[in-house]
Structure 1
Amino acid sequence: MRKTAGRSLLWQTFFRYGGLLIAAAVVFGAVVGYQNVSVLVRESETLIASSLTTSAAWMDARVAEMDAIAYHIVDSSLLYPYEIFRNGYTAAQATNLLNSYKNANAYLSDIVLYYDESVAALFDAEPRYFTTTGPMDAETFWHYIHPVSSGRLSPGLVVTMPQQSMLIHPVTETVKNQERRFLLYLTPAGKMPMWENHRGLILFFIEESVVNEGLARTALLYDGVLGVYNTDGDAMYRYGEAPQTLDGHILDMVQDAGGQPVIAHTGSGVCVALRTQAHGLTYVLTLPAGFNAPAIYSAIASLLPFVALLTILALWGAYLLLRPLFRPMQQLKDMLRPYSLQSDESLSGIVYSIRELEAHRDRLESLGSQRATLARIQFLHNLLQGAFQSREEMESQMRLCECDCGAARYVVLCCRLVPAPETNERILDLCAAAMHVLTETDRLADEVRFAVPEGGPNEVSVLCGLPPETDASAHLESLYHTARAVFEGETGAKLVCACSEVGSGLMEVSALYLHARSALSGAFVRGNARLLRWEGTRRDANIGWYPVELEEALHRALTFAKADEACLLARRIEAEVRARELPEYAAKSVCLSLVRNLLRLEASLQTGVEDDQPYRTLIARIEAPGTTLDGFAGALCEMCEDFCARRARAAAPGDAQQREHCRQVKDFFQSHYPDSTLTLAGIAARFHLSEGHLSRIFKACTGTSVMQYLDTLRMENAKALLRRTDASLDEILKRCGYVDKSNFIRKFRRHNGVTPMNYREMMRIQKRSQTDA
């Protein structure tokens, strides 16, 4: 017996503290493995930087020697035929002199002197080329010094060469029926002070095998790409792939390093760069991820079994530790399952399903310890079963289980789940008690703030049930002022929506609801009803109407600076408001929301508006008591015209060609937005522009980036498909160019405040209300 008890205690101790021990072991193993790998990586990077420094020094020494040879050739007056003859040099003697330079520097394969037609014209002779292997015709010369594959070079380069310091380029030549690769070093004679106006060129040929032994040996050793760049970042020689312009960020780093190697980590691997002080050349070695470091791989491989074992133990321990936390939620689901699908048409207001209660699981679990949470669940269960005989008994039970304002809010939600087709006294007592807790303390603001994201509005539902003989207007007005005093503040606008099942006086209650919605700092944002779906029984279905589709069309017209279309839509909105014969509060609420959303749109598009006083003036005129909506369409149309004018000014970069590029890109998006493989690099390549240039001109034209514009276009089409079709979410993603469903839902929620399925349901509810009307 004692042995069994001892085992039981041992198992209890392991279950209680085993998770902590496993977590500590995992952290220790990860830290040790990370330190070992970090040491190996740092040692490898140091070795690579040292090799690059050695290679750069070798190349600098070769360049210095070739500069010295070029200076001696010019100083010996070998460049002009006139000087050759004057000093008694013959072509053979010049060739011998060049051969002596080549033999003294074993790494050189050949030396060539060239002077252009302007010099030859002085002697009425054809241009001559002196080389150690014989005459060199113009075609061969162009082939050697042309840096691209076409094999031809305009003589203009020869004229501009004196402004450059040098040119290094790999060439291929067939020698004795065998293809050989050389490194061509081209320097202008004009770089010498005494010949600064001369157009002559001196060419050195170096066997690439010699270069591989020196300059490119680092790239060969580490299976990377080694490039040599001038001070402007233009590629002169690149071993491993085609030349390309060096990133400006790397240029800034090597310039600040003062001749020391710098190491930069990129998404594709490691980049080691060095700029020499003697010639201003920049050497950049780009290494792939996991560069030739077998020690790193072996270290990681040795840690894999240990990490895998610790991960399995950690998951098992986490399951044992977290399993008790899910029991209260499962018990709540079992208790509420009989009521979760009750949706009688006679029960107005909001019908919450079990899924919406599950969305608040985190909030429910955070109310206290496991025992306190179970007490609250039991309280809700007793409430739904009608176990309380009086209001005093219910309030006493609430205090015993430490239910605060947040718990009282759940009481109200659960009261609406009771399948009572008719109002009864017990339900009214329970709702009144819950409302008493909700409204008597300022702590309500802190309890509901968990549902309000930073900087964004949110709707907080305050539900109440009132008998028909109650003065609904007075009660709701008092509730409105109380809520406004609690919720107004700098943390963001909060909207208090009051729903009632009142029969008489419903018109006044609904109008007051709309007035409260517009008065609370303009907090109502269309489609942002995360906690509220307001669909009460109403005599006049037009009271809850809002021109959603017309406003979206208006915003699209303003985004693309279509002033005529925007004015037409503004007049249509005014005609719809008048045709529905809305009450004064409701009509003013719609107009106020239109103006405020227009101001938000202008702020988001950054049209350059300097003064929002016209918006403020129109809002004040609408809110003023006793005013009518006459002339609203004209004022809104005038604002739209000013909006489009500012939009057009912001979108005009001043270059017709740039505007044409923007138009072509937008037309391309209209027909290709379903293509999920579109990228900025691919779009720029399609229109033969660089990524940076395309981004700049598109931002100047539209006020937004290329990919943001494409994402907005896709989102608008997704919303249209949700409104007008019954297509599944996977089909909509495919037709709009999205791949990741969770990423799409997150973006949709950020743009519209609700999930795609909730948005479709809201649009259907509004359509049914308009159809019933």
Structure 2
Amino acid sequence: MRLNYFKSKLFLKYIWSYLFILLIPLVLMTIFIYENAVTNLKSEIEQSRLAQLTQAKVIIDGRMKELSEIASRVSYDERLTPYRVHDSIYSGEAIRALDQYKSTSSIIGEIYLYFHKDDRIYSGKGLNHFDVFSNNLSFQHWNKDALFRDLNNVKYPTMRPADIVSTPSGLHETMLAYLIPITPNSPNPHGTIMYLIKESELTGLIDSILGNYQGMTYILDNDGHILVDNRQGESLTSAEEKSLFNNLSVGIHDKTLNGMAHSIVSVKSENNGWTYVTIMPSSQFFSSVLHVRSFIILLFIIVVFVGAAIALVLARMQYQPISMLVEFAASKSHSKPSEDGSAPTGNELDRIRTALQEYSSRVDLQEPFARNHFLSMLLKYGSAQSLTPELQEAFNLEFDRSHHFVMVIGWEENEHNERQDMLELLNQIEFPELAAHGYGVELSQLDQLGLIISFNLSGKMDEFSHIQQIVEAVRSNMLESFDVSPMIGVGACYASPDLLNQSFIEACSAFELRVSTGHGTITYFEKLSYTPDHAFWIPNNTLLKLSQSLKQGSYDVAAQMIHSAIQSLQSSELSALLTRCICFDLLNTILKTASELGDHSMMQKIAPHMIYSNSLDELERSLLNLASEICNQVEQDNQKEEQSIIDQVVAYIDEHFMDNTLSLETVAFEFGISPSHVSRSFKEKMGLNFIQYIWQKRMEEVMHQLKTTNDPLKDIILKVGYLDTPNFIRKFKKETGYTPGQYRKMFASQDSEPGTGIDDE
């Protein structure tokens, strides 16, 4: 019969379930991937801006430091003293000196020298009266009086914000004025150096910061005033700039400006207190991931279609066994069909549930038989491990005690109903005071029952006494309940329920071999099987210890074992023939151990008279000689093996010392030995420890690379497996007395190839 799956509500429910299982995490994952892509891109751009701002800060700080150093040199230059400058003979030399200082820095547009209370100002172009200077070079927001006052009164380096400067030629340029009093850091300066810096010198550097992204870049002085700004795409009002910069902290921030989300990155110079700021609209980050969004949407659609197909296949696979179960349940069900012939109510799972309930009621009727059958198999074959947790729960059986044994209980001419009553009594009997419980088993003999006992041994009594008390408790129970004193055979006790079959055989044997056939007879197999045996044999543990001591090369322990065994033989009253036979155990153990160690020639070394020597003392000396020879050979083999392994370790290090993951642990793992053993044996062989040897190999390789190649130092250090470059340089200098750069230059003329440049590390 061909099924129409789509007519089943259960089948459709499975399809929708799989689709929801697919779609919910897929939608969440898609949103997460997209948001994560945007967030990561934003973070990368912001970190890049932070790095570029830091670089710009370092460059500008360096340029400002150059200007301060120039001012310091000017203040100490004899050619630029007030006397020499005012002297008509030396003034030309002073002007040329100023022009030379101007050329030392590319950032300087012009340099001016002014002495306090002077009416003249000096530059690389010549000498000008202050009135002429102020007329020729006028600032839009810095009038003549303010300029004169600032030149006379400035006490510390001051940068004027960018201002429009008019020149005599009619050009208008945006420039910054940087005033440095001379002598610098003096509380009473006698003059001022004024640098004119074109704004384009700084904005050119700033333009490289934003790259392809639009936004605004600012340089603020330590009072929060804008020195330089560069705007691409948008601008802020003065009020917005003031509000923003007054509360701006260093780092990366998100803020809404002009109704739009912006990313703000700022760094601050520790030298002059200037702050460098970039402000970019966050919307640019989203537009940068449009291709990611398109790819995600396409991937989402593909996954949905593929997922729908997989959901259909999985739903069909899941529904098919259910449909087969429904057909099977319908064929085996004893429930009567409805009078109108309509289909049963409920879905397929309800119909299966009804059928299982019917089967469960039938199983309950068969449970006692199944339980007895299982226990019978346990008595016959053992292997209690086959009893799964489900079967234990179903049959209410537990074999979690430490000791187990079996009893066979028999009686004479009891009626059948009494037999069933006895089985019910013994079905699950408990003795809490003895920490024991038992399970009755119906045997094939009508006048016998089996009883499996599990108990935990009490520390107050020995095992056999505990068993006796349990057996007496069972007998008393039966006597009290049925007025019957049965005959009981008791098997030996075992620690594992897997050996209950052996205990059952022993109990049967004890029951059959009982001395008396009267009522109340109890027979223990252990007493039947006990026979006194006074023969002397060397204990197995002595032979095992002898063998192991030979394998370990421990002659002292081996000698002790041989001596104690011979001494025991000498003190015994055995015949000479039996003594010699027992001695074969010692000899065979020694020969077998030698064979296991690979020495198959030991048999040929045995003298013919060894076993049949005149005395046990001579035999002991012969066995000790054999043991000594084996132990010496084992010691030599161990030394050779250890030496061979260390040679392999050294070869391995020589081959892999440039691997940064090389460590004592990795070498120990490679050769299957402990790190402490490697360390100790390595130092004994090489004369220096593991770390020192690797450092020496890497040092030799770095020296070789410095002398023969032009590779950068950092690449060389990384290539030899050392990750901490500064630490390597310090250790290199400590050992050689030179930095790597000095070492390379020292050997460059004799070791480097012609035409090869030298790095200056």
TM-score in terms of structure 1 length: 0.33
Larger Rg computed on CA atoms = 2
Structure with higher RCO (Cα < 8 A, 6+ apart): 1
Structure having the larger proportion of residues in strand: 2
